[in-house]
Amino acid sequence: MVLWLVFLTIVLGGPSAVFTQDLNTCLRCHEQCHGLDLLAASHDDVAMPSNCTTCHRGNDQTTRKELAHHFLIGARYAWYRIAQSEAVVDGKKRIEQLACRRCHIQLKQGNLLAINLDMLMAIRSVEELEQALRVPAFYMPDFSLAEDDLRLLVTQILAGGVDAETMNVAQPVVVHFEDEADLEHLFEKNCGSCHRVLTRHLGGLGQGTIAPNLSGLLTRFYPENFKDQQLWNGEGLTKWIKNPRSIRRLTRMPPLRLNDQQIKQLMESTWSQEFGKEH
């Protein structure tokens, strides 16, 4: 009887303990990750991953491919874990160049006009991130990204999500619907035929795409493309509205027939959280 119990323990208990503690089925099909050496060399006190899923997600406790690869982050994007890697460094530059933070928070910085990008790693697949960049939402600029730019942006979005579990992740409070233009609003009436903008309190305004997206215009996260590569502010925007060609001689934008009070009302109602702040 004792021998039989020992046999059952070996047959049933032994393998079970091994499989629950040491099973990593990824290595049955894939070679040892070469990124481990790069990760170890990237910083003296870097925390080494305990298994493949630390960097690549997926499920390392199954041999079924469709389950093992669920939510997988493939080698194309795996550099997101190495902060000094070329892909992450260049991804940060693309985030800045495209001014993604005019609407989004990324690496804990930016305007919360749309979803916080730092939380996407936990709730979206790589394929969903790629699709969102290829086919942007209604109020998001269409950047017509090349594949290499798309790779860098997705890598950087994933990098921002590494510490997301420890962050107090905020969400935008307005859902942005594609409503009919409200021509009673000064932006819709005077700017919306050419421009679009996301606002904190009214959602999306404007229907036009032939002129720049003006979301976050009066914040430090908007491109520095005012006169002499300066940031936009209330004073500069007032001058621009009254006489755009005094700022940029060849601009296609015409002057708007608005008085000072109307211009102030336009800025307060459209960029209510931004107007009057120093940047």
Of 167, 160, 171, 168, residue with least CA distance to 94: 160
Of 211, 210, 202, residue with least CA distance to 179: 202
Of 185, 164, 206, residue with least CA distance to 268: 185
Q: Which CATH architecture has domain 86-166?
A: Orthogonal Bundle (1.10)
Place of tokens 């819709």: 188
Alpha helices per DSSP H over 23-58: 26-29, 35-42, 53-56
| pLDDT given at position 196 | 95
178 against 30, higher pLDDT: 30
Q: How far apart are CA 121 and CA 197, in angstroms?
A: 26
Cα 240 off chain centre by: 30
| pLDDT given at position 157 | 97
Written as six digits, the tokens of 101 are 């933070």
Place of tokens 């002499």: 228
Using the predicted structure, report yes or no on whether residue 151 has a pLDDT greater than 60: yes
Helices 126-134 and 147-160, interaxial angle, to 10°?
Answer: 130
| pLDDT given at position 275 | 55
Sequence-distant (≥ 6) Cβ neighbours of residue 268 within 8 angstroms: 275
Written as six digits, the tokens of 61 are 């406790």
Kindly state the average pLDDT of the residues 133-152: 94
Average pLDDT, the chain: 83
Query: pLDDT by residue (tens digit) across 49-89?
Result: 668 888 898 888 888 888 888 999 998 998 998 888 999 99
| Highest mean pLDDT: which range of 163-167, 168-172, 200-204 | 200-204
Q: How far apart are CA 33 and CA 58, in angstroms?
A: 15
Of the pLDDT bands very low, low, confident and very high (cuts 50, 70, 90), residue 9 is: very low
Angle at 162 between CA 138 and CA 85, to 5 degrees: 95
Of the pLDDT bands very low, low, confident and very high (cuts 50, 70, 90), residue 45 is: low
| Highest mean pLDDT: which range of 5-9, 90-94, 205-209 | 90-94
CB atoms within 10 A of CB 137: 13
Phi first, then psi: what are they for 87, rounded to 5°?
-65, -40
Looking at residue 113, the DSSP 8-state letter turns out to be T
Of 204, 208, 218, residue with least CA distance to 252: 208
Written as six digits, the tokens of 145 are 């990204």
Place of tokens 């510490």: 163
Of 209, 204, 200, 114, residue with least CA distance to 157: 114
- Are 51 and 23 in contact, with CB atoms under 8 Å apart? no
Percent of the chain residues past pLDDT 70, beyond the cut: 75
| pLDDT given at position 163 | 79
Of the pLDDT bands very low, low, confident and very high (cuts 50, 70, 90), residue 179 is: low
- Are 169 and 118 in contact, with CB atoms under 8 Å apart? yes
| pLDDT given at position 3 | 47
List, by residue range, all CATH 1.10.760.10 domains of the chain.
86-166
Query: pLDDT by residue (tens digit) across 97-120?
Result: 999 999 999 999 999 999 999 999
Using the predicted structure, report yes or no on whether residue 152 has a pLDDT greater than 70: yes
| pLDDT given at position 21 | 44
186-270 folds as: Cytochrome Bc1 Complex; Chain D, domain 2 (1.10.760)
| pLDDT given at position 226 | 94
Kindly state the average pLDDT of the residues 227-247: 94
Using the predicted structure, report yes or no on whether residue 4 has a pLDDT greater than 60: no
Of the pLDDT bands very low, low, confident and very high (cuts 50, 70, 90), residue 15 is: very low
| pLDDT given at position 235 | 95
| pLDDT given at position 182 | 65
